[in-house]
């Protein structure tokens, strides 16, 4: 499992995240300057006017009702707040884009306890937990528009280097967009407490060149291969409850409760980023998912050793 860079708010690679960083630095600069001025005056006053030995403790002369001073310290903060409001509103509006432009890639995100479903409605592709998107050339931008819905509770979609957080709310469709300018893997996290495995509801966004992305899409579109050597494993899958929760195109399994597994082996992780997707972890996962991810909705199927081995052998052909 390639670890990917740690999420870093200060290293944005996508248009919305860049706009947010720019605003953050501007606001930090303005408020930081106010802090320095106010604290500076305070410290100066404390030192300069402190009570000295031998003084009689008289208060210095008090100033009341100076109109120029009153006007100055009312107007100046008002202007500062107005500036902060205007620059914030400008960024907020620049990040709100109602409908996707025709060149945009559309992705339907559905939050589940505790994994992410990603559908590509225009490409007929369905995957989970690892979102693949093409890199966007600033000369010919190709943004990715996400619609976000939830299966049951409130989640929040957050990949810090790509965009701000967007809540994923039941019975409501939220939208957001990203426009990554470099290739790479960017990590994110569900950012709204959603139950016991909230912390293990991870996100991976793989930003690829346009040809690599098209290759990935073409591969994802295909059905599962029918490999004679592992057909017994497929039968275990189809005849157990696996098939009522998972879809594997090319088989009779059409469940929608859990992730689409048609191309399971094209993903780097299992259980929404909990463990790497290799032979050892796949076996442990299928044997008892709750061992790997306590609270997970997938039950242990209590298969005998031979069935388990043949099932896993079949799963490993789902590239």
Q: How far is the CB of 48 from ligand CUA (least distance, A)?
A: 53
Rank residues 20 and 191 by Cβ distance to ligand CUA and give the closer one: 191
Rank residues 169 and 303 by Cβ distance to ligand CUA and give the closer one: 169
Asked whether the beta carbons of 13 and 184 are under 8 A apart, the reply is yes
Q: How far is the CB of 116 from ligand CUA (least distance, A)?
A: 8
C-alpha 317/C-alpha 249 separation (Å) is 13
Rank residues 194 and 296 by Cβ distance to ligand CUA and give the closer one: 194
Q: How far is the CB of 168 from ligand CUA (least distance, A)?
A: 7
C-alpha 81/C-alpha 203 separation (Å) is 36
Rank residues 115 and 216 by Cβ distance to ligand CUA and give the closer one: 115
Rank residues 168 and 312 by Cβ distance to ligand CUA and give the closer one: 168
Interface with ligand CUA (CB under 6 A): 111, 114, 155, 190, 192-194, 198, 201
Q: How far is the CB of 121 from ligand CUA (least distance, A)?
A: 22
């Amino acid at each position: 499992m390639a670890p990917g860079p740690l999420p870093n708010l200060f290293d944005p690679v996508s248009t919305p995240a860049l706009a947010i960083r720019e605003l953050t630095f501007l606001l930090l600069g303005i408020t930081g300057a106010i802090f320095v001025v106010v604290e500076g005056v305070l410290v100066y006053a404390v030192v300069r006017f402190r009570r000295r030995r031998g003084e009689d403790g008289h208060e210095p002369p008090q100033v009341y009702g100076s109109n120029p001073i009153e006007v100055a310290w009312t107007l100046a903060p008002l202007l500062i707040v107005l500036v902060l409001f205007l620059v914030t509103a400008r960024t907020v509006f620049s990040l709100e884009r109602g409908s996707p432009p025709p060149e945009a890639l559309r992705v339907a995100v559905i939050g589940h306890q505790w994994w992410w479903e990603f559908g590509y409605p225009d490409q007929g592709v369905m995957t989970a937990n690892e979102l693949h998107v093409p890199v966007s050339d600033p000369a010919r931008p190709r943004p990715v528009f996400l619609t976000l819905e939830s299966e049951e509770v409130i989640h929040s979609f957050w990949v810090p280097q790509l965009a701000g957080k967007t809540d994923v709310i039941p019975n409501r469709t939220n939208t957001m967009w990203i426009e990554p300018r470099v290739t790479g893997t960017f990590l994110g996290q569900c950012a709204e407490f959603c139950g016991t495995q909230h912390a293990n509801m991870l996100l991976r966004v793989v930003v690829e060149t346009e040809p690599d992305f098209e290759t990935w899409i073409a591969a994802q579109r295909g059905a599962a291969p029918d490999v004679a050597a592992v057909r017994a494993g497929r039968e275990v899958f189809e005849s157990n409850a696996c098939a009522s929760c998972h879809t594997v195109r090319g088989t009779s399994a059409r469940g929608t409760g859990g992730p689409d597994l048609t191309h399971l082996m094209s993903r780097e992780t299992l259980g929404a980023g909990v463990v790497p997707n290799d032979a050892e972890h796949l076996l442990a996962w299928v044997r008892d998912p709750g061992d790997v991810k306590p609270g997970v909705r997938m039950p242990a199927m209590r298969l005998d050793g031979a069935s388990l081995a043949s099932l896993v052998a079949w799963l490993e052909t789902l590239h």
